[in-house]
Structures are given as structure tokens and as C-alpha cells.
Amino acid sequence: MADPSATHRPRGPEARAQRPPRTEAEALAVQDRMRPLADLVGPGPTAPATVAGLDVAYAESGDRLAAAVTVLDARTLAVVDRAVGVGRPAFPYVPGLFAFRELPALLDVLEKLTVRPELLVCDGHGLAHPRRFGLACHLGVVTGLPAIGVGKTPLVGEWEPPAARRGAWSPLRDGGEVVGRVLRTRDGVKPVFVSVGHRMGLDNACARVLALTPRYRLPETTRTADRLCREALAAAC
């Protein structure tokens, strides 16, 4: 069996993004260099066997974090692998550059996995980002894995509320560009904000999110990863 960590380890010029930039200017340059590498068309896997959720929790002081990844069987939604790590943010908080705080920690936990995920679901955004390169784009390009972002609130854009039924959606537009969808995952419950990150199309991304939300507003990937990183942070503090 191949070394599973090799699946997630950055390769080629993209690997430079794994090293945290030292300044805001360097971070902006990394985004500019990597943005054209994101495949925003896909279509991506329509029946992935495994789907990973990624999330990060922060201590109240803001100087410690816990990063977690959970891998789910896409058919049963049972957790088949997980990894977590506690550390410190790799970059200061700068609007539009938030991914640089979390990326090294998330890559570290991805490399601990023994089950290869076929899709990454980030608690955040991909194309629906002020610089069109959110965490889902960044992780997807660096790892080479299909990735989508599912946010609880939007970072950018204007939108009309979708119909109240599960599966209804409306476009999320920013500057005249469709950057994602506002998707209702539960009847009469607040929608989520879906955008593509890498190697996925928007139709497919929304279909995968609906498959991951049979009972709750948020995907099971997000729920399990959120719980894991919060537990790890509480144990470390």
C-alpha cells in the first residue's frame, strides 16, 4: 500500500505556499501566484467514497489553535479516520489572508491520515472570497485534492434568500460575478454559503453538500471536525 501521507504532501511549485510568508506583501504574492492554478470548473467526483471535513478552533487568547480533519464514509457518513493537532497561528490576522494562519496546521493533520479523502470540505470559503482565493482554493491547490468551501456566513457578495425548502438555492454574486450559491440544507433553516475551491464544479459542490446534510444545517464533515478540534483545544488549555 502506498504511503498515504504522500497523497496529501504538497508537490512542485505549490509547495512553496506551505511555508508561511513573513509579511503581508509576501502573502499577497503567494495568492497571486497560486490563484490561476485553481480549477474552478471540475466537475470533480460525483460519488466520492470518502469525504474529509477540516476545521480550526482558537483559544480565547488567539495565540493557540487546534486543527482537525475527519474522514467520513460518504455513503454512511461514519467517521473512518481522524487527526488533530494543537499549535499556534502561522500568520497574523489580516482580512483576506486568513488561510495563512491555518494552512500549515491543516496540512500537518492531513499528513497524519491513513485513509485518503477524495474530497475536502472546508469550514470557510473558496472562490467566494475578496481575492477569489479562500481557504478551500488554497488547500485544494496545495494538496491537489478536490475541495469546496461551506461557510455559515458570507465574506463577500449579494444574494436573495432562497426558497424555504431543502435544496433551494440562489446565486451569490460579487461585482457581477457569481462566486457561489446560497443553499438551503434544511426546510425553513438558515442557508449555508457554498463555493468551489479546486477541481469541483458548483453544481457538484452543492450536490455533495446536500448529501452531507441529511439531518442538520451544517455538513457532517464540518460537525465532526468542529467537535474534534474543540475537544483537543479544551484538553490542551
- Domain with 142, as residue range(s), is 4-236
User: Is-contact 65 87, C-beta < 8 A?
Assistant: yes
Name which of 121, 123, 88 is nearest 205 in CA terms.
121
DSSP secondary structure string for all residues of 3-72: -HHHHHS--GGGGGGGSPPSSHHHHHHHHHHHGGG---S----SS-SEEEEEEEEE-TTSS-EEEEEEEE
Q: Give the CATH number, domain containing residue 104.
A: 3.30.2170.10
> Scanning the structure block, which residue is given the C-alpha cell 485553481?
38
Q: What pLDDT does residue 83 have?
A: 98
Let me know if 162 is exposed, middle or buried by CB neighbors in 10 A (0-12, 13-18, 19+). middle
pLDDT for the residue numbered 63: 84
Tens-digit pLDDT profile for the chain (237 aa)?
Answer: 334 434 444 443 444 445 678 899 999 999 999 999 999 999 999 999 999 999 999 998 878 999 999 999 999 999 999 999 999 998 888 989 989 999 999 999 999 999 999 999 999 999 999 999 999 999 999 999 999 999 999 999 999 999 999 999 999 999 999 999 999 999 999 999 999 999 999 999 999 999 999 999 999 999 999 999 999 999 887
- How many residues in the chain? 237
Q: Identify the H or E element spanning 226.
A: helix 220-236
Amino acid identity of residue 182, one-letter, is V
Task: Give how many domains the chain has, as a whole number.
Answer: 1
Question: Are 119 and 43 within 8 A, CB to CB?
Answer: no
Q: CB-based burial of residue 11 (10 Å sphere; 0-12 exposed, 13-18 middle, 19+ buried)?
A: exposed
pLDDT for position 93? 87
In 95-219, alpha helices (H):
99-111, 135-143, 202-211
Look up the pTM and report it: 0.90
| pLDDT confidence of residue 236 | 84
